[in-house]
Amino acid sequence: MSADIAAPRSQRLDPKYVRARKSRGSFEMIAWLFMRLSGVALIVLIFGHLFANLMLGEGITGINFGFVAGKWADPVWMFWDLAMLWLAMLHGTNGVRTIINDYAEKPVTRVWLKGILYVATIVIVVLGTLVIFTFDPCIPGSTLSVCQ
Amino acid sequence: MSKASSGTLYRGHEGMWSWVGHRVTGVVIFLFLLVHVLDTSLVRVSPGAYDAVMSTYKNPLMALGETALVAAIVFHAFNGLRLILVDFWKSGTKYHRQMLWGVLALWVITMVAFSIRHLSIAFGGH
């Protein structure tokens, strides 16, 4: 009584129509999960950053070299800014990668746009990381205790 | 809306506009982030170079731009939490519209508070 009906698309398609053939493994799923996890972390990091820099004290008028020196004298703010830099850049890069995949149709255009994106990301992440770790608050005539 | 698109549940409705808003704010924030790392990097050039560029951010006209940037960030943040609830909460897809109105309400409240503080500092001239 029971007819053996093959499940849809089970080995019945010409291989040239099988889209899943060139599988990229679980990369896209990990990228999707990363956007959600880093997004939650970035809300805490960026809201804290904006509150400390723009809402407290003198707000934007108080931001100058001395303000940065004061913040980065504290390892917590160094780590805060480092985490914010890396997570925001990776989150933003993956977002723009998705947009390029959606709108750039010619393979050569996609390769070029993503190439420019990835080079920009590497330059900004490396530059920002070096700035955080090599920052020197001691300018001539500084009265900061670390410079005495 | 054209008759041709009246049959879709998605196009032209809350889901589409929140998606457009998330994309546009995301790109704006990313472009500012690139500039912001570069301007902060001036602390390694000289205190004078950094302070000179920071003084341009203290211009009242720039304060309006900063408020717009924060508006983009706050919308992206709250709508991002809504997306997470749509994906992971079992009733998320059912209440995605109501959650968008919640996002917009929280966005307005946050931006009123931010704007009062930031613009009074920026236009206060002290």
Could you state, in order of their start, the residue ranges of all structural domains in chain B?
A: 12-124
Q: How near does any CA of chain B get to the CA of A4, in Å? A: 35
Q: Locate the DSSP E strands across chain B.
A: none
Dihedral, B23, B24, B25, B31 alpha carbons, nearest 10: 100
Q: What percent of chain A has pLDDT over 70?
A: 82
Parse chain A into domains and list their residue ranges: 27-137
Cβ atoms of residues A106 and A126 within 8 Å: no
CA distance B80 to B74: 10
Confidence of residue A8 (pLDDT cuts 50, 70, 90): low
Q: Which residues of B touch A47 (CB under 8 A)?
A: 77
Say yes or no to pLDDT of B71 above 70. Answer: yes
A33-45 confidence digits (pLDDT tens):
999 999 999 999 9
Give the residue with greater pLDDT, B3 vs B49. B49
CB pair distance less than 8 Å for A60 and B122: yes
- CB-hemisphere CA count at 13 Å for A130? 11
Say yes or no to pLDDT of B100 above 90. Answer: yes
In CATH terms, the fold of domain A27-137 is 3 helical TM bundles of succinate and fumarate reductases (1.20.1300)
Token pair for residue B41? 């990097």
CA distance B67 to B57: 11
Q: Residue B12, SS3? A: coil
CB pair distance less than 8 Å for B58 and A85: no
Mean pLDDT within B34-49: 93
Angle between helices A107-134 and A75-103 (to 10 degrees): 170
CB pair distance less than 8 Å for A95 and B30: yes
Cα–Cα nearest to B54, from B67, B65, B43, B45 = B43
Cβ atoms of residues B64 and B114 within 8 Å: no
CB pair distance less than 8 Å for B43 and A68: yes
CA distance A57 to A66: 14
CATH architecture of B12-124: Up-down Bundle (1.20)
Its ipTM equals 0.89
Q: Max CA-CA distance within chain B?
A: 61
Lowest mean pLDDT among A29-38, A90-99, B52-61: B52-61
